[in-house]
Every structure is written in C-alpha cells, then in structure tokens.
Amino acid sequence: MQWHTLHHSPSLPPLYLRAALKRKITGTTLPDSGLRCPVNVNPRDVAAYREVCGFIDSPMLPATYPHILAFGLQLQLLTAKAFPFPLLGLVHLSNRIRILRPLGAVGEVQVGVYAQNLQPHAKGATFDLITTMEDSLGALWEGESRMLCRGVKLAGEQVDQSLPTIDSLNELARWQAPADIGRRYARVSGDYNPIHLSALTARLFGFPQAIAHGLWSKARTLAALDGHLPSANIEIEVDFRKPVRLPSEVILACSPAGSSGEWRLEGAGDIEHMVGRWRPL
C-alpha cells in the first residue's frame, strides 16, 4: 500500500462538484494507493452528532463517529481521476467496524482510507472502502464499507457474503425516522447525497421519498443498544436491506446483552431494513 499524506482533511464543495461531473465507468481496476491525514476531534461536532443519532453524553466517542472524521478523505478517494467508478449511484450494501481499543479521550488522530477487494456481483461489481483511525499508541478503529457499482462487467461468479436473518429476536425499542433526518444528518456528517435530503431531490434519482442514510440508521441503532454491547475489542457488522423511507417508524429487535449477538431493524409490514451482529475480536 502506497500512502499519500495530506496536511488536513479536504474541503467538501470542490469534491461534490467533481462527483457531479463524473458519470462514467472508466475502468475495472482499483487504485493501489490510499489517502491519510491528521484530524482533530472537535467536542462540539461530536455533541451535535450525538444529538442527531440519539447517543447519550459520554466520555467515549460514538462507535460510528470515525466515519465522520474520514468522510472528506473518502470523498477525495472516490472522486479521484484514478478511481474507475462514479460516486453518484454507488450503493452501500454493508458496513463493518472494529473497535480495537476504547474510544475515550480521543483528541488528535490520523485517519486513512483506501479501496480493495473488487468482486463480481449480479448487478455489477462490489469493492470494500476501508477506513482506519489511529493515535500515538497505534490502531484504534477500523471500518469496511462494501459498495456496489452497477453496470461493471467482471469475470467470475458472485460470492454471497450477506448476513443471515435471525427470527428469534425480541423487540428492544422503536423510534420515528422524521422527514428532516436526512438534512440533519447531512449537517453533522457532510454527506449531502440528494436521495436523503427531501422527497423532491430523491425523486430526481428514482426514489418516491427521501431515504435515511444507512450510517444514520446504524448509528441510531447502536445508540439504542447502549449498554447492550461491549465498548471495545468488538466487531459490529450490518447488512443494509430495504431503505428507510422518510418519515417512518422503525422497530429494533435484538438478542440479549452479551459479548455477541444479533439484531434486526424492521419497518411497517415487516419490511427488513437492516440486519446486524456483534462479536468479540
């Protein structure tokens, strides 16, 4: 892996313009280099994120917050000329995070992003967007987002990597996903994808209503699972199934608290929005 080190996190507006202008698939090879930069954790930004995602106040950084710290780097990587796929239209299929050490007293960290594991898929091709976070003592957190690019032609057969659905789970919580949550999450995350912002902008991309960010749904679920999971030395994995249309009510069912377990996020009519599991590293 060859790293390109930046002095600070990239500015987002030029990257959104670059994303809007790149509409074609330009190849089938992922770049063999990554991006990294130092980032300072701003307590006010973390507090705003906690409020939007439902996390209680805590000295521990929310488990999903490193995605926010790395978002600018992710955008720069995915909109670079060397990256073969257009950012618009990518589908987030699954997400896995590993909390290697407790996320307390996190100040200045270094985040890194790169892409790997290009694989054929029935609808195109998938790749893994890898995110890392470390401090002066070493690795703190790792993330892996599996992304689908439709229309890519790759040789080989698709390997099913999806999580199983677990039926024997008990309801733990339910909450409303309000109509404005896409806009509120965009303000704390930087992710202004039009499909999340309003019904009007979502319809431009073929969605009848705005849909919630997948990572908001995961964060909101982990906030509801507070005290249910260990805070470190843990892997947390989700598959995104049907999107959460806004507004709507969702129901969280999960297994008992412990070192490992599963959960399911459902909507009206038993729509399965997300399945997940946690297990020790």
**What is the domain partition of the chain in residue ranges?**
1-161, 163-281
Per-block mean pLDDT, blocks of 10 residues, the chain (281 long): 92 92 91 96 96 95 96 96 92 96 89 96 94 95 96 82 83 96 96 92 89 96 94 96 96 94 92 96 94
Q: Looking at domain 163-281, what is its CATH homologous superfamily? A: Hotdog Thioesterase (3.10.129.10)
pLDDT digits (tens, 9 = 90+) for 175-205: 999 999 999 999 999 999 999 999 999 998 8
For the chain, what is the radius of gyration of the CA atoms? 18
pLDDT value of position 242: 94
- Is 17 strand, coil or helix? helix
pLDDT value of position 166: 79
Within 8 A by CB and 6+ apart from 235, the residues are 96, 97, 98, 278, 279, 280, 281
Comparing 1-161 with 163-281, is the CATH topology the same? yes
pLDDT value of position 167: 79
Task: Pick the closest to residue 240 from 115, 65, 93 (CA basis).
Answer: 93
pLDDT value of position 262: 96
pTM: 0.94
pLDDT value of position 53: 98
Burial of residue 154 (CB within 10 Å: 0-12, 13-18, 19+) is middle
Within 8 A by CB and 6+ apart from 72, the residues are 9, 10, 11, 12, 15, 190
How is domain 1-161 classified at the CATH fold level? Answer: Thiol Ester Dehydrase; Chain A (3.10.129)
What is the spatial distance between Cα 10 and Cα 210, in angstroms, rounded to a whole number? 27
pLDDT value of position 214: 95
Burial of residue 274 (CB within 10 Å: 0-12, 13-18, 19+) is buried
